[in-house]
Amino acid sequence: MSWNVLQEEQPLVMNLLTKSVEKNRLAHAYIFEGMRGTGKKEAAELLAKSLFCREKQGVKPCDSCAECRRIDHGNHPDVMMLEADGASIKKAQVESLQKEFTYKGMEASTKVYIVDDADKMTASAANSLLKFLEEPESPTLALLLTENVHFLLDTIISRSQKITFAPPPLQKRIRMYTEQGAGEAVSALLARLPDQLAETFAEEKKEWIVQGRTLVIQLTEEAQNRPQQMLLTLQEKWLDHFTDREELDIGLDLLLFWYRDILTVKMEKEDLAYPDQKEKLEQASLHLTEKEVADRLQWILEAKRRLRANVNAQLMMEHLLLRLQEGS
């Protein structure tokens, strides 16, 4: 991701970093947090380049001088990248990085270290890093990248400036999940779920989402044409599939996406959460007015709120399905 693309996709982040470099007011440590594909690593590398580039224009690095290229190739003496070795970042890795910087500490230039997936540091690695943040031996800039900022030590968070990267636009997210092998139908749903959840599902529970969407398609069809079947499906399948509150909440999201799609079809727009179900959606859109779809969206949102208030899940779902079916 180039400087210009980042500037376009993450204008707040890039403006903030640009201003800090211009005014020479960079913090000693930053946490770049945001989901996969938001350009955290690219931003970190560009920031490092901006500090060392010999041909930069303003703060924008040239990407082609010797300094820039060394950073690209991971062999710049003052820029170190730390990545997970297997599942975690270990204490020995942090220590060897610190040792290397100490050797080079004689030179006055700033030392930059980028820790990718910083939440994967073991507790002892994190503590070792913390000492470094507290008492650097020479001017340092720490860039800690993470998709899960909540897994970082509070003490690290409090010593760093946190910068949040905005989630990528919908189409880009769909593409991201497709590239991870999720299949188009599932990717269209994953891209609409909250980031953290979607990441987990993309990795571990793709099949579960596939089954969940099949249930949504079945239930909404029954609500429209075979209401006597609907409550049976709820008991025998839905409640078996969406078992705890978190899962039920996702079930409601999937249901919400379905009715939103009906509205999308009505307005003759593309961009469906159920792109392969266009025919069924079109049929459903003939049965419901815009107002009736909007009501249903409200009821589903209401059910999501009630779910949080600890209601009985089965009663909540029965009530909702009857409303979806009867329209009142």
Site residues for Zn ion per CB under 5 A? 53, 55, 61-62, 65, 68
Contact by Cβ (8 Å): 38, 163: no
Residue closer to Zn ion, measured from CB, 18 or 180: 18
- For residue 60, give the DSSP letter: B
The residue (of 3 and 257) whose beta carbon lies closer to Zn ion is: 3
Kindly state the smallest distance separating residue 97's Cβ from Zn ion, in Å: 24
Q: How many CB atoms lie within 10 A of CB 256?
A: 20
Tokens coding 145: 């990248």
Least separation, in Å, of the C-beta of 14 and Zn ion? 17
Contact between 57 and 4 under an 8 Å Cβ cutoff? The reply is: no
Cβ proximity to Zn ion: between 76 and 173 the closer is 76
Shortest approach of Zn ion to residue 51 CB, angstroms?
10
How far is residue 314's CA from residue 204's CA, in Å, rounded to a whole number? 26
Residue 21 near residue 13 (C-beta atoms within 8 A):
no
Shortest Å distance, C-beta 32 to Zn ion = 21
Q: d(Cα 304, Cα 248) in Å, to the nearest integer?
A: 9
Strands of the chain, DSSP E: 29-33, 79-82, 111-115, 140-146, 161-164
- The one-letter amino acid code at 113 reads Y
- Least gap, CB of 56 to Zn ion (angstroms): 6
Distance (Å) of CA 112 to CA 84, 131, 300: 18, 16, 49
Q: Distance from CA of residue 226 to its chain's centroid?
A: 38
Which of residues 51 and 188 has its CB atom nearest to Zn ion in the complex? 51
- Output 55 or 292, the one with its CB closest to Zn ion: 55
Is 53 or 114 the residue whose CB approaches Zn ion more closely?
Answer: 53
